[in-house]
């Protein structure tokens, strides 16, 4: 089972890649490993390859239903999260690599062809399903890399990098249309807020404080956040805290009061009501 702290850490630093190759695959299951992966962002390129079941992936505010065989493509800096669909489970591979593995001195391939992808300057689908242009190519090369990674024979790192070159070549060939990046720029304004919640969810915070971090007035921040992510900031914050509480209930023996305080609730009754509303179980029932 992948520890949730490891899962979160790999999204922050390339130093978590193994064998000096900035490419790793992490098998995960929701809700067996953890109930959800809250909204977050990082500087790695990511594929989320659904192996079994179904779930929900939110990418830059778009809620996408995914099922076995689907592949999500997450470019660096994209705000995204992974969630359970109803009572369904979902097995998936979390595949991450540093786009700079293609960058080398005297080689303009990265700047010329890939940087537009990784800066959202090219219109590429968030979710690749069977029948979508590029799906078969992505599936072929990711499956090949799975096989290479499981055996790690010879110059296996070179083979993985070669497959990624071919995969991205196909995507560049298919999706060269430039797009208006104004929506991405607007979402970028909320990234400091998402990151702050991720790091400080256990601490008191107000809408006014978060509006200041985004450079908005309080009223504009509340409206813009809900338009972008479909929920109010307070709802998002409470949901994030409850997700962290659910993980602590399963991973520790701390009592419910301590856990509620660790995730930022200052009122146990409010925590219990909110938890029951989200999970249809009390914290004690959830732990059993």
79 falls within a domain = yes
Domain-embedded: residue 183? no
Q: What is the mean pLDDT of the chain?
A: 85
Q: Which CATH number characterizes residue 272's domain?
A: 1.10.10.60
Residue with the bigger pLDDT between 206 and 13: it is 206
- The CATH number of the domain holding residue 20 is 2.60.120.280
Average pLDDT over residues 171-183: 67
**pLDDT tens for each residue of 68-119:** 999 999 988 889 999 999 899 999 999 998 877 776 544 555 656 666 566 6
CA 284, distance to chain mean position in Å, is 29
Q: Which residue has the higher pLDDT, 93 or 227?
A: 93
| 215: confidence class by pLDDT, cuts 50, 70, 90 | very high
Does residue 31 have a cis peptide bond before it, meaning omega lies within 30 degrees of 0?
Answer: yes
**Judgement on whether residues 28 and 85 belong to the same structural domain of the protein:** yes
Contact 54, 96 (CB under 8 A): no
**pLDDT tens by residue, 191-213:** 899 999 999 999 999 999 999 99
Compute the distance between CA of residue 76 and CA of residue 141 in angstroms, rounded to an integer: 20
* Residues 230 and 133 occupy one common structural domain: no
In a domain, 179, yes or no: no
Q: Which two tokens stand for residue 257?
A: 């009061």
Residue 111 has a pLDDT of 58
Whole-number pLDDT of residue 75: 86
Residues 135 and 254 both lie in one domain: no
Residue 92 carries which DSSP code? E
Three-state secondary structure call for residue 107: strand
Q: Are residues 217 and 143 in the same domain?
A: no
Same domain, yes or no: 132 and 226: no
Residue 110 pLDDT: 60
Question: How far is the first Cα of the chain from the last one, in angstroms, to the nearest whole number?
Answer: 19
Residue-wise pLDDT for 153-170, tens only, equals 888 888 998 999 899 888
Of 119, 140, 174, the position where a domain reaches its end is 174
Q: Which of 174, 207, 226 is the last residue of a domain?
A: 174
* 62 strand-pairing partners: 59
- What pLDDT band is residue 13 in, cutting at 50, 70 and 90? very low
Residue 104 lies in a domain: yes
Q: Specify if 277 maps to a domain.
A: yes
Domain count within the chain: 2
Mean pLDDT of 184-189: 73
Residue 152 pLDDT level (bands cut at 50, 70, 90): confident
What is the rounded average pLDDT of the residues 21-45? Answer: 88
Q: Are residues 209 and 163 in the same domain?
A: no
Q: Are residues 206 and 161 in the same domain?
A: no
The residue to which tokens 């890939």 are assigned: 114
Within a domain: 23: yes
Task: Answer whether residue 1 shows pLDDT above 50.
Answer: no
Tell me the pLDDT tens digit for each residue of 46-66: 999 999 999 999 998 889 999
**Are 169 and 193 found together in one domain?**
no
Structural domain boundaries, residue 227: 189-287
Provide the whole-model pTM. Answer: 0.73
Choosing from 142, 174, 206, the residue where a domain stops is 174
Position 11 scores a pLDDT of: 46
Q: Do 196 and 69 share a domain, yes or no?
A: no
Of residues 19 and 23, the one with the higher pLDDT is: 23
Q: Is residue 180 part of a domain?
A: no
Residues 212 and 260 in one domain: yes
Q: Is 152 left (phi over 0), alpha (psi -120 to 50) or beta?
A: left
> Do 159 and 211 sit in the same domain of this protein?
no
Q: How sure is the predictor about 2, in pLDDT bands with cuts at 50, 70 and 90?
A: very low
Q: Is the same domain home to 248 and 148? A: no
Confirm whether 184 is domain-assigned: no
């Amino acid at each position: 089972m992948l520890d949730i702290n490891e899962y979160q850490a790999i999204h922050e630093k390339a130093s978590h890649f193994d064998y000096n190759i900035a490419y790793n695959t992490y098998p995960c299951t929701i809700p067996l490993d953890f109930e959800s992966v809250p909204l977050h962002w990082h500087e790695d390129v990511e594929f989320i390859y659904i192996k079994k079941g179904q779930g929900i992936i939110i990418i830059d505010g778009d809620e996408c239903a995914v099922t076995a065989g689907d592949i999500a493509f997450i470019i660096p800096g994209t705000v995204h999260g992974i969630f359970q669909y109803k009572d369904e489970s979902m097995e998936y591979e979390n595949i991450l690599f540093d786009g700079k593995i293609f960058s080398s001195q005297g080689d303009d391939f990265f700047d010329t062809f890939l940087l537009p992808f990784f800066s959202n300057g090219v219109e590429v689908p968030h979710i690749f399903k069977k029948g979508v242009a590029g799906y078969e190519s992505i599936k072929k090369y990711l499956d090949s890399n799975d096989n290479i990674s499981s055996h790690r024979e010879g110059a296996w790192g070179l083979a993985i990098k070669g497959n990624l070159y071919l995969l991205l070549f196909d995507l560049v060939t298919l999706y060269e249309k430039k797009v208006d990046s104004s929506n991405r720029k607007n979402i970028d304004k909320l990234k400091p807020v998402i990151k702050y919640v991720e790091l400080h969810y256990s601490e008191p915070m107000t809408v006014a404080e978060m509006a200041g971090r985004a450079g908005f007035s309080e009223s504009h921040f509340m409206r813009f956040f809900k338009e972008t992510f479909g929920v109010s900031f307070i709802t998002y914050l409470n949901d994030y805290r409850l997700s962290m509480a659910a993980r602590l209930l399963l991973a520790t023996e701390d009592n419910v009061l301590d856990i509620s305080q660790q995730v930022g609730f200052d009122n146990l009754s409010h925590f219990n009501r909110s938890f029951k509303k989200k999970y249809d179980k009390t914290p004690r029932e959830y732990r059993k």
